Amino acid sequence: MLSMDLPVMPPLKPMLAKPITLDKALAMLPDVHLEPKWDGFRAIVYRDGDDVHIGSRTGKPMERYFPDVVEAVRGALPERCVVDGEIVIAQVPDGDGAKSHLNFELLSQRIHPAASRVNLLAEVTPAALVVFDVLALGDDAYLDRPLAERVAALDTLGLKGPLVFATPRTQDEAVAAEWFDAFEGAGLDGVVAKPLDGPYEPNKRTMLKIKHARTADVVLAGYRLHKTSTPERPLLGSLLLGLYGASMSDGAAGLARPGGGSSAAGSVSDDAGPGPARAVSDDAGSTLQFVGVAASFSEQRRAELVEELADLVVVPGTPEADAHPWSGWSDPAKALPAAEAGDRLPGAVSRWTGGKDLSFTPLRPERVLEVGYDHMEGTRFRHTTQFKRWRPDRDPDSCTYDQLAEPVSFDLADLLPGAPGTAR
Protein backbone atom coordinates (compact mmCIF):
# COMPACT_ATOMS: atom_id res chain seq x y z
CA MET A 1 0.00 0.00 0.00
CA LEU A 2 1.52 3.30 -1.09
CA SER A 3 1.86 5.94 1.63
CA MET A 4 2.68 8.72 -0.82
CA ASP A 5 0.82 12.03 -1.00
CA LEU A 6 1.81 13.62 -4.32
CA PRO A 7 -0.14 15.94 -6.67
CA VAL A 8 0.05 13.17 -9.29
CA MET A 9 -0.54 9.67 -7.95
CA PRO A 10 -0.18 6.19 -9.44
CA PRO A 11 -1.31 4.42 -11.46
CA LEU A 12 -0.76 6.73 -14.42
CA LYS A 13 -0.28 5.43 -17.94
CA PRO A 14 2.43 7.20 -19.95
CA MET A 15 1.86 9.39 -22.97
CA LEU A 16 2.44 7.40 -26.18
CA ALA A 17 3.68 8.03 -29.73
CA LYS A 18 2.43 7.38 -33.25
CA PRO A 19 4.70 6.83 -36.28
CA ILE A 20 5.76 9.57 -38.65
CA THR A 21 8.55 10.01 -41.18
CA LEU A 22 11.67 11.98 -40.36
CA ASP A 23 10.98 14.50 -43.12
CA LYS A 24 7.52 15.27 -41.73
CA ALA A 25 8.85 15.59 -38.22
CA LEU A 26 11.61 17.99 -39.28
CA ALA A 27 9.06 20.07 -41.17
CA MET A 28 7.29 20.70 -37.85
CA LEU A 29 10.29 22.57 -36.43
CA PRO A 30 10.42 24.89 -34.46
CA ASP A 31 7.08 23.82 -32.96
CA VAL A 32 8.57 20.54 -31.74
CA HIS A 33 11.80 19.32 -30.28
CA LEU A 34 13.38 15.94 -30.98
CA GLU A 35 14.87 13.45 -28.55
CA PRO A 36 16.53 10.04 -28.78
CA LYS A 37 14.07 7.15 -28.62
CA TRP A 38 15.47 4.99 -25.83
CA ASP A 39 15.05 1.23 -26.05
CA GLY A 40 14.39 0.21 -22.46
CA PHE A 41 11.56 -0.10 -19.96
CA ARG A 42 9.25 2.91 -19.87
CA ALA A 43 8.95 4.11 -16.28
CA ILE A 44 6.93 6.75 -14.47
CA VAL A 45 8.85 7.36 -11.26
CA TYR A 46 7.22 8.74 -8.11
CA ARG A 47 9.26 9.97 -5.15
CA ASP A 48 7.88 11.19 -1.85
CA GLY A 49 10.76 11.36 0.60
CA ASP A 50 12.27 7.89 0.96
CA ASP A 51 9.25 6.29 -0.71
CA VAL A 52 9.88 5.49 -4.38
CA HIS A 53 7.44 3.84 -6.76
CA ILE A 54 8.23 2.89 -10.37
CA GLY A 55 5.23 2.33 -12.61
CA SER A 56 5.53 0.40 -15.87
CA ARG A 57 3.85 1.30 -19.14
CA THR A 58 0.87 -0.81 -18.05
CA GLY A 59 0.85 0.66 -14.54
CA LYS A 60 2.37 -2.36 -12.79
CA PRO A 61 4.98 -1.71 -10.09
CA MET A 62 8.62 -2.31 -11.06
CA GLU A 63 10.60 -1.13 -8.04
CA ARG A 64 11.23 -4.69 -6.81
CA TYR A 65 13.03 -5.45 -10.07
CA PHE A 66 15.21 -2.34 -9.95
CA PRO A 67 16.46 -1.73 -6.40
CA ASP A 68 19.48 0.04 -7.91
CA VAL A 69 17.22 2.54 -9.68
CA VAL A 70 15.26 3.14 -6.46
CA GLU A 71 18.50 4.09 -4.69
CA ALA A 72 19.61 6.22 -7.64
CA VAL A 73 16.29 8.10 -7.54
CA ARG A 74 16.72 8.83 -3.83
CA GLY A 75 20.12 10.27 -4.54
CA ALA A 76 19.35 12.32 -7.66
CA LEU A 77 15.69 13.40 -7.87
CA PRO A 78 13.94 16.03 -5.72
CA GLU A 79 12.27 14.75 -2.54
CA ARG A 80 8.78 15.18 -3.97
CA CYS A 81 8.39 14.67 -7.70
CA VAL A 82 6.97 12.56 -10.50
CA VAL A 83 8.95 12.09 -13.71
CA ASP A 84 8.58 10.12 -16.94
CA GLY A 85 11.57 8.28 -18.33
CA GLU A 86 13.17 5.05 -19.43
CA ILE A 87 15.21 2.48 -17.52
CA VAL A 88 18.16 1.24 -19.58
CA ILE A 89 21.17 -1.02 -19.17
CA ALA A 90 24.40 -0.44 -21.08
CA GLN A 91 27.12 -2.92 -21.95
CA VAL A 92 30.42 -2.95 -23.81
CA PRO A 93 30.51 -6.13 -25.94
CA ASP A 94 33.61 -8.28 -26.18
CA GLY A 95 36.13 -7.39 -28.83
CA ASP A 96 38.88 -4.87 -29.41
CA GLY A 97 37.59 -1.36 -29.96
CA ALA A 98 34.00 -2.32 -29.08
CA LYS A 99 31.76 0.56 -28.03
CA SER A 100 29.08 0.57 -25.36
CA HIS A 101 25.43 0.19 -26.36
CA LEU A 102 22.02 -0.54 -24.82
CA ASN A 103 21.31 -4.19 -24.02
CA PHE A 104 17.62 -5.00 -23.82
CA GLU A 105 18.24 -8.67 -23.05
CA LEU A 106 20.10 -7.77 -19.84
CA LEU A 107 17.22 -5.47 -18.94
CA SER A 108 14.71 -8.27 -19.52
CA GLN A 109 16.55 -10.55 -17.10
CA ARG A 110 15.53 -8.27 -14.23
CA ILE A 111 11.91 -9.43 -14.43
CA HIS A 112 12.57 -12.45 -12.20
CA PRO A 113 10.58 -13.88 -9.28
CA ALA A 114 13.64 -14.42 -7.04
CA ALA A 115 14.76 -11.31 -5.13
CA SER A 116 18.23 -12.81 -4.70
CA ARG A 117 18.61 -13.05 -8.47
CA VAL A 118 17.35 -9.49 -9.00
CA ASN A 119 19.75 -8.14 -6.36
CA LEU A 120 22.67 -9.98 -7.94
CA LEU A 121 21.86 -8.58 -11.37
CA ALA A 122 21.51 -5.08 -9.88
CA GLU A 123 25.10 -5.39 -8.65
CA VAL A 124 26.57 -7.02 -11.76
CA THR A 125 24.68 -5.05 -14.44
CA PRO A 126 23.29 -1.90 -12.79
CA ALA A 127 20.69 0.15 -14.64
CA ALA A 128 20.40 3.87 -15.35
CA LEU A 129 17.33 6.10 -15.55
CA VAL A 130 16.92 8.55 -18.43
CA VAL A 131 14.34 11.25 -17.64
CA PHE A 132 12.52 13.14 -20.40
CA ASP A 133 9.51 14.74 -18.70
CA VAL A 134 8.41 16.23 -15.38
CA LEU A 135 4.85 15.50 -14.25
CA ALA A 136 4.98 16.96 -10.74
CA LEU A 137 7.36 18.95 -8.53
CA GLY A 138 6.72 19.58 -4.86
CA ASP A 139 3.01 20.28 -4.47
CA ASP A 140 2.50 21.28 -8.09
CA ALA A 141 1.12 19.03 -10.86
CA TYR A 142 2.58 19.71 -14.30
CA LEU A 143 0.31 17.53 -16.45
CA ASP A 144 -1.65 20.47 -17.87
CA ARG A 145 1.39 22.63 -18.51
CA PRO A 146 2.93 22.79 -22.02
CA LEU A 147 5.95 20.63 -22.74
CA ALA A 148 8.19 23.69 -23.04
CA GLU A 149 7.47 24.53 -19.40
CA ARG A 150 7.88 20.92 -18.26
CA VAL A 151 11.31 20.49 -19.85
CA ALA A 152 12.38 23.87 -18.45
CA ALA A 153 11.59 22.42 -15.03
CA LEU A 154 13.57 19.28 -15.99
CA ASP A 155 16.60 21.42 -16.79
CA THR A 156 16.64 22.82 -13.26
CA LEU A 157 17.14 19.35 -11.76
CA GLY A 158 20.75 18.98 -12.92
CA LEU A 159 20.43 15.33 -13.94
CA LYS A 160 23.84 14.63 -15.47
CA GLY A 161 24.49 11.09 -14.22
CA PRO A 162 26.08 8.79 -13.54
CA LEU A 163 22.85 6.95 -12.64
CA VAL A 164 20.09 9.43 -13.51
CA PHE A 165 20.25 11.54 -16.68
CA ALA A 166 18.09 14.11 -18.47
CA THR A 167 17.68 13.09 -22.09
CA PRO A 168 19.31 15.24 -24.78
CA ARG A 169 16.98 17.17 -27.07
CA THR A 170 17.39 19.40 -30.10
CA GLN A 171 15.57 21.76 -32.44
CA ASP A 172 18.38 21.69 -34.98
CA GLU A 173 17.38 19.87 -38.17
CA ALA A 174 20.91 18.70 -38.99
CA VAL A 175 21.53 17.44 -35.46
CA ALA A 176 18.22 15.53 -35.41
CA ALA A 177 19.03 13.87 -38.74
CA GLU A 178 22.48 12.94 -37.44
CA TRP A 179 20.98 11.47 -34.27
CA PHE A 180 18.58 9.35 -36.30
CA ASP A 181 21.45 7.82 -38.28
CA ALA A 182 24.06 7.55 -35.54
CA PHE A 183 22.24 6.58 -32.36
CA GLU A 184 21.10 3.23 -33.75
CA GLY A 185 24.71 2.13 -33.46
CA ALA A 186 24.37 2.47 -29.68
CA GLY A 187 21.16 0.41 -29.58
CA LEU A 188 18.64 3.26 -29.58
CA ASP A 189 15.33 2.99 -31.40
CA GLY A 190 15.15 6.16 -33.53
CA VAL A 191 14.04 9.62 -32.43
CA VAL A 192 10.86 11.14 -30.99
CA ALA A 193 9.29 14.50 -31.87
CA LYS A 194 7.22 16.25 -29.20
CA PRO A 195 5.00 19.35 -29.66
CA LEU A 196 6.24 22.11 -27.37
CA ASP A 197 2.79 23.50 -26.64
CA GLY A 198 1.20 20.16 -25.76
CA PRO A 199 0.11 19.09 -22.25
CA TYR A 200 0.93 15.64 -20.88
CA GLU A 201 -1.88 13.34 -22.04
CA PRO A 202 -1.70 9.89 -20.40
CA ASN A 203 -2.30 6.90 -22.68
CA LYS A 204 -2.79 9.10 -25.77
CA ARG A 205 -0.59 8.98 -28.87
CA THR A 206 0.30 12.63 -29.07
CA MET A 207 4.06 12.22 -29.48
CA LEU A 208 5.62 11.28 -32.82
CA LYS A 209 8.13 8.44 -33.25
CA ILE A 210 10.54 8.11 -36.16
CA LYS A 211 12.03 4.65 -36.62
CA HIS A 212 14.18 2.99 -39.24
CA ALA A 213 12.44 0.99 -41.98
CA ARG A 214 14.31 -1.91 -43.59
CA THR A 215 13.58 -5.21 -45.31
CA ALA A 216 15.19 -8.65 -45.17
CA ASP A 217 14.66 -11.99 -46.91
CA VAL A 218 14.13 -14.75 -44.33
CA VAL A 219 13.38 -18.47 -44.24
CA LEU A 220 9.96 -19.68 -43.08
CA ALA A 221 10.39 -22.70 -40.76
CA GLY A 222 7.13 -22.87 -38.82
CA TYR A 223 4.05 -21.07 -37.56
CA ARG A 224 1.93 -20.67 -34.47
CA LEU A 225 -1.84 -20.75 -34.41
CA HIS A 226 -3.76 -17.63 -33.44
CA LYS A 227 -5.36 -17.45 -30.00
CA THR A 228 -8.82 -17.53 -31.66
CA SER A 229 -7.99 -20.59 -33.78
CA THR A 230 -10.24 -23.66 -33.47
CA PRO A 231 -10.00 -27.20 -34.91
CA GLU A 232 -12.97 -26.36 -37.12
CA ARG A 233 -11.43 -23.11 -38.35
CA PRO A 234 -7.66 -23.05 -37.88
CA LEU A 235 -6.16 -19.56 -38.02
CA LEU A 236 -2.47 -18.77 -38.30
CA GLY A 237 -1.13 -16.41 -35.66
CA SER A 238 2.50 -15.78 -36.60
CA LEU A 239 5.17 -17.02 -38.98
CA LEU A 240 8.45 -18.21 -37.41
CA LEU A 241 11.46 -16.85 -39.24
CA GLY A 242 15.08 -17.92 -39.58
CA LEU A 243 18.39 -16.77 -41.01
CA TYR A 244 21.47 -18.84 -41.66
CA GLY A 245 24.48 -17.94 -39.54
CA ALA A 246 27.44 -19.55 -37.83
CA SER A 247 26.74 -21.59 -34.68
CA MET A 248 27.95 -20.61 -31.23
CA SER A 249 30.72 -23.19 -31.39
CA ASP A 250 32.05 -21.47 -34.49
CA GLY A 251 32.70 -18.35 -32.43
CA ALA A 252 30.01 -16.17 -33.98
CA ALA A 253 27.65 -13.88 -32.17
CA GLY A 254 25.65 -16.87 -30.98
CA LEU A 255 22.15 -18.19 -31.32
CA ALA A 256 19.21 -15.97 -30.61
CA ARG A 257 17.50 -16.56 -27.31
CA PRO A 258 14.02 -15.31 -28.05
CA GLY A 259 12.11 -14.00 -25.09
CA GLY A 260 9.90 -11.23 -23.84
CA GLY A 261 8.32 -8.14 -25.27
CA SER A 262 9.22 -4.55 -24.75
CA SER A 263 7.19 -3.86 -21.65
CA ALA A 264 7.90 -5.14 -18.20
CA ALA A 265 6.14 -6.86 -15.34
CA GLY A 266 4.74 -9.96 -16.88
CA SER A 267 4.00 -8.93 -20.43
CA VAL A 268 4.91 -11.05 -23.43
CA SER A 269 5.20 -10.37 -27.13
CA ASP A 270 4.31 -12.88 -29.81
CA ASP A 271 7.96 -13.10 -30.81
CA ALA A 272 8.73 -15.26 -27.79
CA GLY A 273 10.29 -18.18 -29.55
CA PRO A 274 12.06 -21.44 -29.46
CA GLY A 275 15.53 -22.23 -28.28
CA PRO A 276 18.56 -23.11 -30.36
CA ALA A 277 18.43 -23.86 -34.05
CA ARG A 278 20.99 -26.52 -34.88
CA ALA A 279 20.23 -27.72 -38.40
CA VAL A 280 23.03 -27.07 -40.87
CA SER A 281 22.69 -25.72 -44.37
CA ASP A 282 24.79 -27.77 -46.76
CA ASP A 283 25.48 -24.76 -48.93
CA ALA A 284 25.87 -22.10 -46.29
CA GLY A 285 27.68 -24.36 -43.80
CA SER A 286 25.77 -22.75 -40.94
CA THR A 287 22.77 -23.17 -38.66
CA LEU A 288 19.30 -21.83 -39.27
CA GLN A 289 18.77 -19.49 -36.36
CA PHE A 290 15.43 -18.25 -35.09
CA VAL A 291 15.26 -14.48 -35.58
CA GLY A 292 11.64 -13.51 -34.85
CA VAL A 293 8.12 -13.59 -36.24
CA ALA A 294 5.87 -11.95 -38.80
CA ALA A 295 2.29 -11.32 -37.68
CA SER A 296 -0.65 -8.89 -37.90
CA PHE A 297 -2.69 -10.64 -40.60
CA SER A 298 -6.42 -10.22 -41.22
CA GLU A 299 -8.69 -13.07 -40.11
CA GLN A 300 -9.29 -14.07 -43.73
CA ARG A 301 -5.57 -14.11 -44.47
CA ARG A 302 -4.90 -16.18 -41.32
CA ALA A 303 -7.25 -18.88 -42.62
CA GLU A 304 -5.75 -18.71 -46.12
CA LEU A 305 -2.21 -19.11 -44.84
CA VAL A 306 -3.05 -22.33 -42.98
CA GLU A 307 -4.29 -23.85 -46.25
CA GLU A 308 -1.48 -22.32 -48.29
CA LEU A 309 1.21 -23.81 -46.07
CA ALA A 310 -0.41 -27.23 -45.55
CA ASP A 311 1.91 -29.01 -48.00
CA LEU A 312 4.95 -27.83 -46.02
CA VAL A 313 3.81 -29.12 -42.62
CA VAL A 314 6.21 -31.60 -41.00
CA VAL A 315 4.41 -34.55 -39.40
CA PRO A 316 5.48 -35.18 -35.78
CA GLY A 317 7.29 -38.45 -35.07
CA THR A 318 8.67 -38.84 -38.58
CA PRO A 319 12.33 -38.78 -39.69
CA GLU A 320 11.53 -35.49 -41.38
CA ALA A 321 10.44 -34.08 -38.02
CA ASP A 322 13.68 -35.25 -36.37
CA ALA A 323 15.66 -33.54 -39.11
CA HIS A 324 13.80 -30.24 -38.78
CA PRO A 325 16.11 -27.33 -37.87
CA TRP A 326 14.27 -26.67 -34.64
CA SER A 327 13.26 -30.21 -33.61
CA GLY A 328 14.84 -29.74 -30.16
CA TRP A 329 12.11 -27.31 -29.13
CA SER A 330 9.67 -30.12 -28.41
CA ASP A 331 12.06 -32.97 -27.57
CA PRO A 332 12.63 -33.21 -23.78
CA ALA A 333 15.95 -34.97 -24.31
CA LYS A 334 17.18 -31.98 -26.29
CA ALA A 335 15.24 -29.36 -24.35
CA LEU A 336 17.07 -29.85 -21.06
CA PRO A 337 20.50 -28.78 -22.33
CA ALA A 338 18.85 -25.84 -24.08
CA ALA A 339 17.07 -24.80 -20.89
CA GLU A 340 20.30 -25.08 -18.89
CA ALA A 341 21.91 -22.79 -21.48
CA GLY A 342 19.17 -20.22 -20.89
CA ASP A 343 17.19 -20.80 -24.08
CA ARG A 344 13.41 -20.38 -23.91
CA LEU A 345 11.26 -23.22 -25.15
CA PRO A 346 7.75 -23.26 -26.63
CA GLY A 347 5.09 -24.15 -24.10
CA ALA A 348 7.42 -23.47 -21.17
CA VAL A 349 6.19 -21.17 -18.42
CA SER A 350 8.58 -18.32 -17.77
CA ARG A 351 8.43 -14.84 -16.30
CA TRP A 352 7.49 -13.64 -19.80
CA THR A 353 5.07 -16.29 -21.03
CA GLY A 354 2.83 -16.52 -17.96
CA GLY A 355 1.59 -19.94 -19.11
CA LYS A 356 1.10 -18.90 -22.72
CA ASP A 357 1.14 -21.81 -25.18
CA LEU A 358 4.24 -21.39 -27.33
CA SER A 359 3.91 -24.64 -29.27
CA PHE A 360 4.26 -24.39 -33.05
CA THR A 361 3.72 -26.21 -36.32
CA PRO A 362 7.08 -27.01 -37.99
CA LEU A 363 7.37 -26.46 -41.74
CA ARG A 364 9.97 -27.64 -44.20
CA PRO A 365 12.31 -24.63 -44.49
CA GLU A 366 11.81 -24.23 -48.22
CA ARG A 367 10.00 -20.92 -48.52
CA VAL A 368 11.52 -17.44 -48.45
CA LEU A 369 9.63 -14.26 -47.64
CA GLU A 370 10.52 -10.60 -47.47
CA VAL A 371 9.72 -8.84 -44.20
CA GLY A 372 9.95 -5.28 -42.97
CA TYR A 373 11.78 -4.55 -39.72
CA ASP A 374 13.22 -1.61 -37.81
CA HIS A 375 16.34 -2.89 -36.08
CA MET A 376 18.09 -5.89 -34.58
CA GLU A 377 18.68 -6.84 -30.95
CA GLY A 378 21.73 -9.07 -31.06
CA THR A 379 20.96 -11.89 -33.50
CA ARG A 380 17.19 -11.35 -33.73
CA PHE A 381 14.64 -8.78 -34.84
CA ARG A 382 13.87 -6.48 -31.94
CA HIS A 383 10.15 -6.20 -32.78
CA THR A 384 7.57 -8.19 -34.72
CA THR A 385 8.25 -7.93 -38.45
CA GLN A 386 5.75 -7.15 -41.23
CA PHE A 387 5.13 -9.57 -44.08
CA LYS A 388 5.89 -7.94 -47.45
CA ARG A 389 5.79 -10.69 -50.10
CA TRP A 390 6.88 -14.21 -50.93
CA ARG A 391 10.26 -14.55 -52.65
CA PRO A 392 10.08 -17.68 -54.88
CA ASP A 393 13.18 -16.44 -56.67
CA ARG A 394 15.33 -16.78 -53.53
CA ASP A 395 17.09 -19.94 -52.32
CA PRO A 396 16.63 -20.42 -48.54
CA ASP A 397 20.37 -21.08 -48.15
CA SER A 398 21.03 -17.57 -49.44
CA CYS A 399 19.17 -15.98 -46.51
CA THR A 400 22.02 -15.09 -44.18
CA TYR A 401 22.88 -12.34 -41.71
CA ASP A 402 25.18 -10.80 -44.29
CA GLN A 403 22.24 -9.04 -45.97
CA LEU A 404 21.34 -7.01 -42.87
CA ALA A 405 22.29 -3.35 -42.70
CA GLU A 406 25.10 -2.60 -40.27
CA PRO A 407 24.34 0.48 -38.12
CA VAL A 408 26.90 3.25 -37.87
CA SER A 409 29.05 2.60 -34.80
CA PHE A 410 28.28 4.96 -31.93
CA ASP A 411 29.43 4.88 -28.31
CA LEU A 412 26.64 5.18 -25.73
CA ALA A 413 29.19 6.73 -23.38
CA ASP A 414 28.90 9.90 -25.46
CA LEU A 415 25.21 10.10 -24.56
CA LEU A 416 25.34 8.80 -20.98
CA PRO A 417 28.81 9.69 -19.72
CA GLY A 418 29.79 7.70 -16.66
CA ALA A 419 26.72 5.44 -16.78
CA PRO A 420 27.23 1.84 -15.59
CA GLY A 421 28.28 -0.43 -18.42
CA THR A 422 29.65 2.31 -20.69
CA ALA A 423 33.30 1.69 -19.82
CA ARG A 424 35.40 -1.45 -19.63
pLDDT at 357: 56
Predicted model pTM: 0.74
Give per-residue pLDDT as tens, 84-116. Answer: 999 999 998 776 677 898 998 899 999 999 999
H/E element, 239: strand 236-245
Return residue ranges of the chain for CATH 3.30.470.30: 16-212
Return residue ranges of the chain for CATH 2.40.50.140: 214-403
pLDDT at 30: 96
Give per-residue pLDDT as tens, 120-132. Answer: 999 999 999 999 9
Please tell me the CATH superfamily of domain 16-212, with its number. DNA ligase/mRNA capping enzyme (3.30.470.30)
Judge whether 18 counts as a catalytic residue: no
List of long-range contacts for 17-23, beta carbons under 8 Å, 24+ apart: 17/192, 17/205, 17/206, 17/207, 17/208, 17/209, 18/205, 18/207, 18/208, 18/209, 19/208, 19/209, 19/210, 19/211, 20/193, 20/208, 20/209, 20/210, 21/210, 22/176, 22/177, 22/180, 22/191, 22/210
Pick the CATH number of 214-403 from 3.40.718.10, 3.40.1080.10, 1.10.3720.10, 2.40.50.140: 2.40.50.140
Q: Which residue out of 37, 204, 209, 227 is catalytically annotated? A: 37
Average pLDDT over residues 30-52: 96
Do residues 287 and 255 lie in contact, with contact meaning Cβ atoms separated by under 8 Å? yes
Do residues 268 and 353 lie in contact, with contact meaning Cβ atoms separated by under 8 Å? yes
Of 260 and 54, the one with more pLDDT:
54
